[in-house]
Amino acid sequence: MFAYIVKRLLAGLVVVVLISMAVFALFWFGPESPARPVCESKTGGKCTEERLANFEESLGYNNPIYEEYGKYVKGVFVGRELTVGTQKIDCDAPCLGYSFKNNTLVWDDLVKRMPATVSVAAGGAFLYLALGIPIGVAAARRRGSLTDKVLVSTFLVVSSVPYYLFALLAWIYCTLVFEIPVLGSSGYTPFTDNPWKWATGLLLPWLCLGLFGCTQYTRYTRGAMVEALSEDYIRTAKAKGLPASTVVYRHGLRSALVPVVTVFGIDLGVLLAGTIFTEKIFEIQGIGLWGLNAVGAKDLQVVAATALFGAVVMVVSNLLVDLVYSVLDPRVRLS
Amino acid sequence: MSTPTMGSETVGHLSDETVPGDEPPAKKRQVSGKSPIQIALGRLRKDKVAMTCFTIVMLFVLVAIFADVLQNLFDVTTEPGNPAQQLNPMNELLPYKGPPSGGFDPAHPFGVAPKTATDNLAVWLAGCRTSLLIASLATLVASIIGITLGLIAGFVGGVVDKAISFVIDFFLTIPFLLLALTLAPIINQRFALKPDLYEKAQLWSLVAILAFFGWMGVARLVRGEVLSLREREFILSARVIGMPTTRIMVKELLPNLVAPIVVAVSLMLPAFIAAEAGLAYLGIGITQGNSWGQTILRASNYYDDYALYFWEPLLGIVILVVALNLLGDAIRDAVDPKTRR
């Protein structure tokens, strides 16, 4: 078990390093000098060749790439001193660089924006399970009935609609057109400022994520439950005279949940890595929107940071899924 | 729903007892073998939802292919119109004639866009073409990469399999949207200096990005199938008679993989259409040419004043993607012999 975790962590580390290298190289060998956007912004659009050369010099783009990558990695672990134009900035570990657009350290912004994304992701993911599993179980128990058929086909259609259109329509019609009370007042307020506003503001994004995402979970749960309920041990449990709810939930659902948990872990990772569409549509200042805006502004350090952050979250969530998997399902042995 | 078409292959058919719903014994019974593909097609033909979706998809495909013919037919172009004459500056530059306020304008059946006075129908038709073109090209590229790597990984095994599996896992770990966001502007910029190439470059860079992040599913699927197929007798026999490895892969393995590949591809297409429009909506896809996602981005402010402008591309995407998804789902059920509904 321990050896397995170490092995997986190392593999994960390789992935993260490769991604960081890829993003770094992408900008380095990109079509325009990586210093140009900084130069344009700092000189107010009057970036001459001479000024550009100065910026390239001070930002270190004249050095070989491996040297700069080394500095970048060193910054992540021990911090470093950054030079932007004539300014000198102390960047403590973990240093992910400096956002010339916002004039802030990237790590500070990341930490500042994390609560918003975590709030959106956690609520949405909770609804995935809270809606998906009970509906899936209900459909599996009434398999073949009209309820089951209606549920399955409705959810199939809902899950076929692209998510961002679903959310966009929800936002436009709940907030702007009909101005539904509570539901319509979406926007992010930090939990520590006002828990009630935090919850009501995020209600619509949560519902959008949840309603859309739960369709998939209903499908998985239903499929797994149908299979589980036809197992021999269920017949045995019924024959022993156990109450129906015990048979379904304690004996059936427990084994049916194993594949659902796997998917859930990965989905949660995807959500935490940045709920870009949700944040853009509902104007929530989280990591996804930050990354998106940074792409528009060519704020390379921020883009690199969001990609790196996303990769770390995905690697960790994949590892956690495998560990939880082995706990939930005694048949799985990690090696 | 499966029994009638499966009939000719079951053992019961060869015995004397008549299966209910079978042909009368007076007629000479035809014993004809049906390939799994034929069985699946037979099932699909009986599936009303699948046939409806297929018709819808074919309509969209025809529209995409004949987009310029249709534009000529309706006498509309994607060039900007004449804003000074057609738009009302007193009313947020909304058009005088046609929707949303002036009823129906036969010259512009879908209305004209605010600000630029471009014809909506022409843009819609062009958007349909862009959407399907990018998605089909990406599907083609992604499935070629996926099938090739999956075949090699599954069949060769050993170090090669380990390496390819690592690459697959690596790509699955990458958050697609974030990397697409990073890559798109870089690829775009490279061609920004050559305007004549720009539109083509945008198209190909999108195809590349979609394919780059879309091949892993097929690769995994094919690898898994090959892992079980390669232990079968017919592969062993092919090896024994000294068939070269590439020939075994192409002639023996590939035909056995048609069914899972068709399913994967049919579900990949709608995903790519949605992704293309999604990227355009985020403002990083096709920004020059015409794309439904771009139109939605521009039109989302007019949801109230000019709802038609907003709903036209939106319905285009939703109908096409839902139809393709439902069709893909029906194909999956039809191909899977275990399906019971």
Per-residue pLDDT tens listing for chain B (341 residues) = 333 444 444 444 444 444 444 445 555 566 777 777 788 888 888 888 889 999 999 999 999 999 888 888 877 777 777 777 777 766 666 776 666 766 777 777 777 777 777 788 888 888 899 889 999 999 999 999 999 999 999 888 889 999 998 898 888 877 777 777 777 767 666 666 666 677 777 788 888 888 988 899 899 999 988 988 888 899 889 989 999 988 888 888 888 888 888 888 888 999 999 988 888 888 776 666 678 888 888 888 887 778 788 888 889 999 999 999 889 888 888 887 665 44
A162-166, A177-181, A196-200, A231-235, range with the lowest pLDDT: A177-181
As to burial, measured by CB atoms within 10 angstroms (0-12 exposed, 13-18 middle, 19+ buried), residue A223 is: middle
To the nearest whole angstrom, how far is the Cα of B183 from the nearest Cα of chain A? 8
Q: Does residue A250 come out as left (phi exceeding 0), alpha (psi in the -120 to 50 range) or beta? A: alpha
Backbone angles phi, psi at B115, to 5 degrees: 75, -50
In chain B, the residue whose alpha carbon lies closest to the alpha carbon of A177 is B304
Inspect the interface and report whether the beta carbons of A15 and B304 lie closer than 8 Å: no
At A127 the pLDDT is 93
Note which residues in 298-317 of chain B have CB less than 8 A from chain A.
Answer: 300, 303-304, 314, 317
Contacts of B283 (CB under 8 A, 6+ apart): A296, B297
Nearest CA-CA partner of A165 in B295, B208, B206: B295
**Which residues of chain A does B175 touch, with a Cβ-Cβ cutoff of 8 Å?**
270, 273-274, 307, 310-311, 313-314
Residue partners of A277: CB distance under 8 A and separation at least 6 = A163, A164, A167, A288, B278, B282
**Which pair of tokens denotes residue A320?**
């956690």
> Domain extents for chain A?
17-106, 110-328
Integer angstrom CA distances of residue B196 from A110, B130, B151, B192, B201: 40, 17, 39, 9, 9
Whole-number Å distance between alpha carbons of A115 and A106:
15
Cα radius of gyration rounded to whole Å, chain A: 25
| Minimal CA separation from B178 to chain A, in Å | 6
Residue A112 pLDDT exceeds 50: yes
Q: Are the beta carbons of B318 and A162 separated by less than 8 Å?
A: yes
Bridge partners, residue A90, by sequence = A81
Q: Are strands A98-99 and A87-91 parallel, antiparallel or unpaired?
A: unpaired
Q: How many angstroms separate the CA atoms of A84 and A101, rounded? A: 12
Contact B186 A30 (CB under 8 A): yes
**A&B contacts, CB < 8 Å:** 100
3-class SS at A93?
Answer: coil
Shortest CA distance from A158: residue in chain B: B322
Task: Give the separation between CA B333 and CA B341, rounded to whole angstroms.
Answer: 9
Of B173, B185, B318, the CB nearest to A318: B173
Contact A177 B177 (CB under 8 A): no
* Tokens 């058919």, located at residue: B13
ipTM of the predicted assembly exceeds 0.85: no
Q: Decide if B139 contacts B269 (C-beta within 8 A).
A: yes
CB-CB neighbors (< 8 A) of B318 in chain A: 161-162, 165
**B162 and chain A: CB distance < 8 Å anywhere?**
no
Write the class of the CATH domain A110-328: mainly alpha
CA distance A109 to A121: 18
Point out the residue among B175, B296, B317 whose CB comes nearest to the CB of A274: B175
What is the distance in angstroms between the Cα of B278 and the nearest Cα belonging to chain A?
Answer: 7
User: Which among A287, A242, A251, A329 is positioned nearest to A107, based on CA atoms?
Assistant: A287
Q: Measured between alpha carbons, how far is A90 from A253 in angstroms, rounded to an integer?
A: 54
Q: Do B177 and A276 touch (CB under 8 A)?
A: yes
Q: What is the largest CA-CA distance in chain A?
A: 86
